[in-house]
Structure 1
């Protein structure tokens, strides 16, 4: 059977989620072409962070090659839609023609200016990465010009920034500008009070799709942060140096006034993508959205392989009589429904109806505060922001993208400036890893001097002082590998050593039981040592015996060991192998640290090994410092005077290309 041809128009949340689902289910049954005017998916819910300069623009840019490049039945095309010929079943773009058996319209939405004069000419929308970058440049330009403007009125107008609309986008944008205002005032030597932030809203309330209690908390927070929330203010005109507003609630007499300003960020409404109008499909009465039935098929074209999803789609909710909301959850769910039903048509099966199930809403107001309602639970402040960050991370995991998972953590948590993150800057510091170089060398030498005696000399004289061979450790602490005759012989040897002045056996002991056995043997020969109880501290004092962190092997560990070492012969062989293996591992860790190669892995391995030793009685308290040092060295210590400076970028390049393929600014299909 010939493979079906599926064309997905638009790489937003709906288009990408549908493509992933189609690709997985139709590996050998379909060829999928994803067409978008950009080579990336835009994370719309992060554009305000880019516009206010909190994160780099790449944080809101998910390259399609990294998302879908490993899927052999998916072809990526960077192009603009011109027309969809439904009779010939062809998608016509500016640079090509694509046949289809099924087509999914998922081009998303675009801003709606409601016909207000001057918005297109002088307003700044926030609906694309290009929009966000334009706003960022405008904000920087106005502050820079105002810093040298001597005319007070013009200076005030330059530093007055208006956000039209109090929906999610508008409130999140002004929230980011609260943090931004503090930064630019310091950088350009301005008084923070000179920068005016206005939210201009024609309704008497803000965030009207949010729980009312949470919306009121958001309003109180904005006013606390000196944001002017101008309710019952409808914008009727926009000019280069001012906006015109009509002030008054419904039923009241309206008064028109001007607000001097050179910046208006327009976030008041969304409509269906006008590119979709070339399809000549049925639109809703409001917002140019394409009507969809319960199966996300285009109304009037049922059974012809034409589906719609995302913000451009208009599935009418029978309860409210309105289309599904234009939010990420709705986009993904409509995309999943459309993909499921296309799969059902190709492979056979029952179609499913779309049913919007939304877990909640989250609004960030700056980098540190927000409001949310998730599964009926209201969250405010830190907890709302924590939930929002977790949601983003979950999305990257759903994409199976470790690259974007760590990119998000880096840009949002670890590399942010001016304390503009969830943890108020405590997790973010761009420190110079050069200062870790001496510690890395010292730590590497510690491991080296511990490993070499085990491999080539006397293990009891290793760097850690109290480290024994694993075979000795098992006999001292395990018990089941040691017969009574062996215990008696061990005590006799200890006494002989003591009589000849070799009391180092006491200091080499790593458990209370072994020390007491040695003391008893010494006492028989008239040798006494006072104050020999193991010292339980993290500092070493001459003349004392460092105490082990645990008193022998825990019972749960002994049970595990007995499985692998059921008798003496097997135990000795296994212990000998473990001794050699662990010594080689320690030598490898030492070399990695000394040469600065794979230091993150080596340091993490050090911490893990140290914990293992500590919980099985093989480590003394004075060696506990290994763990915090290892954690500190995980902070890129090998990139300063180490091989990681060249090794890690090279590996990232090679492995990234092998796993994701080569990212490009323009994709031309296979």
Structure 2
């Protein structure tokens, strides 16, 4: 088969989805080369840009390096560049710094804000459709509040502290929700009253959140009004000035910040590509996502205009973007392999909107939720996205940014999971638990009688202690498990073995746990092997905790052993304290005066470079 070049333009939800599917299918085919071109070296989680603009998370929390996302996809060339032209006759994509021949082309360049020609929006408004937009808006808000705090003119001060959002779709409502929760911090840092900061949503339609069920939208509106957000409906904006906005009614609202989220249109760069466009500049495609009138050119994501029903094009949402990307990739695969093509069938599971970090409304697969459960569902959906693109690394990063590395209680758990505490105070506990396991192991290895004779720095009794009865020299199981006792041994020895342990928390093993243990240790020979391994594992846990190396894993092992001993009816209340102590040490206790402080960052760098390569600001083929 002759070599085929597939070029994908745009690394958004749709482009990334198509690229991954193509790379997976052709990973063993050296004749298929895939090139992914994007103006950035990272993929942006567009649905979370409001968190950056609203000061909840830093930019790196919602931007994901493409090399990490496409780890070990050796058949994908990443290119960081701006596309300037597409020649359909010669089948060449031209960028600012190169050109790329293609046999199949996938256009996933997404959309951009649509100002509907409203005067002053471009010059005086702020949009929220890229990382640059989010960072610019965030800095503007911080600077404006800082300056307003020093202004004595009450009218000017009020205008500077009034923030207006045009549009009541998901982006607009989520943005005003972030401002609602951010304003207390802004006020505190600048020594003003939070009540001075006013938030306004301006909507041209008579209702808000029109993609939601009306009851869900009503809940969201009630929450916002209760929190002091002013909502103006039936109020189209006809002009945006530097320090005010004018409504169709003639009313003027003094504000230095107008955030425009009122509409989306196709990426304007595609206007030069010579392709048929429909409403809002979106490129027309058929049910296979093939561009109208062109061969082997596919359109996906927010850029595509395909009517699933008459007058209803594919919605500009993440699920549609991913599904159109999958459809285009599947049909390129079908074309190359000579299989039948697949028509697009949208399957959308619902909608969710957050109003800050602690409240939201959702309708998912027929279930209507609000508050905590709606926000929890949104987080679960986001995590599902990471698992869908096979990025455990960024799934973990998402959890850290959303639940642990958070300030001002801005998550659904009201900050209870925030990890900004000092782990220094865990040091004594870490050393104590480590010594606990070290001592337990030495008792079993050398025998309790010998180990108890050891004085500080006098280890000589250990070296003559192995003649004593220990777990290593025992010829029969010292575990008080009746099924391991032979008929000749009798139940008396089982009782005798049990006396080595303190009065247990459980008088006997639960039936389900006994079933598991019988599988793990079906006879005394296996039990003896396990009995000789266990003390060395305990010793390793103890030493690791003392020196602070792999502390999290050691703490998990410690807790796991203790749970096993509890259900085995071998652990008494005198040692139960070690279980909650082990859980407490999972807070990164090795980072304070432990080897984890040095080793873990080094290990992460080395493993990251081996698995992902080196992340770069510019990728070249």
> Counterpart of 1:17?
17
Query: 2:313 aligned with 1:314, yes or no?
Result: no
The alignment of Structure 1 onto Structure 2 pairs a total of residues equal to 602
Query: 2:563 aligned with 1:611, yes or no?
Result: yes
Shift of 1:104: 0.3
Q: Pick one of 570, 580, 596 that aligns with 1:644.
A: 596
Separation of aligned partners in 2, 1:462 and 1:609:
23
Change (3 A) 1:385 1:468: farther
Checking the alignment, whether the CA contact within 8 Å between 2:447 and 2:470 is kept in structure 1 is no
**TM-score scaled to structure 2, two decimals?**
0.93
> Counterpart of 2:313?
323
Checking the alignment, whether the CA contact within 8 Å between 1:110 and 1:270 is kept in structure 2 is yes
> Counterpart of 2:264?
270
Separation of aligned partners in 2, 1:482 and 1:559:
19
Change (3 A) 1:560 1:212: closer
> Counterpart of 1:208?
210
Change (3 A) 1:616 1:114: same
Query: 2:339 aligned with 1:387, yes or no?
Result: no
> Counterpart of 1:292?
285
Shift of 1:564: 6.6
Query: 2:323 aligned with 1:333, yes or no?
Result: yes
Residues 616-663 of structure 1: per-residue CA shift (max 9 Å, x gap): 122112211121111110111001000000100001001111111110
In the TM superposition, 1:149-188 aligns within 5 A as: 149-188=151-190
Shift of 1:482: 3.2
> Counterpart of 1:549?
505
Query: 2:227 aligned with 1:225, yes or no?
Result: yes
Shift of 1:262: 0.7
Q: Pick one of 85, 88, 94 that aligns with 2:87.
A: 85
Checking the alignment, whether the CA contact within 8 Å between 1:473 and 1:618 is kept in structure 2 is no
Shift of 1:480: 4.7
Separation of aligned partners in 1, 2:522 and 2:224:
69
Separation of aligned partners in 2, 1:33 and 1:490:
68
Shift of 1:239: 1.1
Tell me whether 357-366 or 66-75 shows the greater mean CA deviation.
66-75
Secondary structure at the counterpart of residue 165 of structure 2: strand
Secondary structure at the counterpart of residue 236 of structure 1: strand
In the TM superposition, 1:424-503 aligns within 5 A as: 424-458=414-448, 469=471, 476-483=480-487
Shift of 1:452: 1.2
> Counterpart of 1:535?
none
Cα RMSD for the two superposed structures = 2.1
Secondary structure at the counterpart of residue 295 of structure 1: coil
Secondary structure at the counterpart of residue 587 of structure 2: coil
Checking the alignment, whether the CA contact within 8 Å between 2:149 and 2:192 is kept in structure 1 is yes
Checking the alignment, whether the CA contact within 8 Å between 1:112 and 1:269 is kept in structure 2 is yes
Secondary structure at the counterpart of residue 49 of structure 2: helix
Change (3 A) 1:282 1:451: same
Separation of aligned partners in 2, 1:233 and 1:475:
78
Q: Pick one of 65, 85, 89 that aligns with 2:67.
A: 65
Q: Pick one of 379, 383, 408 that aligns with 1:418.
A: 408
Change (3 A) 1:481 1:185: same
Change (3 A) 1:583 1:394: same
Separation of aligned partners in 2, 1:364 and 1:621:
46
Checking the alignment, whether the CA contact within 8 Å between 1:471 and 1:575 is kept in structure 2 is no
Checking the alignment, whether the CA contact within 8 Å between 1:471 and 1:579 is kept in structure 2 is no
Separation of aligned partners in 2, 1:468 and 1:558:
25
In the TM superposition, 1:343-362 aligns within 5 A as: 343-362=333-352
Residues 253-272 of structure 1: per-residue CA shift (max 9 Å, x gap): xxx02111111100000000
Shift of 1:553: 4.4
Change (3 A) 1:175 1:556: closer
> Counterpart of 1:621?
573
Secondary structure at the counterpart of residue 33 of structure 1: strand
Change (3 A) 1:389 1:489: closer
Query: 2:397 aligned with 1:407, yes or no?
Result: yes
Secondary structure at the counterpart of residue 33 of structure 2: strand
> Counterpart of 1:514?
none
Shift of 1:468: 8.8
> Counterpart of 1:305?
296
Shift of 1:198: 0.7
Residues 313-335 of structure 1: per-residue CA shift (max 9 Å, x gap): 1112234x132111101100100
Checking the alignment, whether the CA contact within 8 Å between 1:477 and 1:552 is kept in structure 2 is no
Secondary structure at the counterpart of residue 619 of structure 1: coil
Checking the alignment, whether the CA contact within 8 Å between 1:478 and 1:553 is kept in structure 2 is no
Change (3 A) 1:451 1:202: same
> Counterpart of 1:282?
276
Change (3 A) 1:489 1:87: closer
Separation of aligned partners in 2, 1:482 and 1:462:
31
Query: 2:616 aligned with 1:664, yes or no?
Result: yes
Query: 2:131 aligned with 1:129, yes or no?
Result: yes
> Counterpart of 2:141?
139
Secondary structure at the counterpart of residue 621 of structure 1: coil
Secondary structure at the counterpart of residue 74 of structure 2: coil
Separation of aligned partners in 2, 1:462 and 1:137:
64
Secondary structure at the counterpart of residue 287 of structure 1: helix
Checking the alignment, whether the CA contact within 8 Å between 1:292 and 1:299 is kept in structure 2 is yes
Secondary structure at the counterpart of residue 415 of structure 2: coil
Separation of aligned partners in 1, 2:107 and 2:427:
55
Separation of aligned partners in 1, 2:69 and 2:518:
47
Shift of 1:485: 5.9
Checking the alignment, whether the CA contact within 8 Å between 1:449 and 1:462 is kept in structure 2 is no
Separation of aligned partners in 2, 1:106 and 1:373:
28
The structure number with the bigger radius of gyration is 1
Secondary structure at the counterpart of residue 591 of structure 1: helix
Shift of 1:559: 5.0
Shift of 1:428: 1.3
In the TM superposition, 1:539-618 aligns within 5 A as: 546-556=502-512, 571=524, 573-618=525-570
Change (3 A) 1:312 1:566: closer
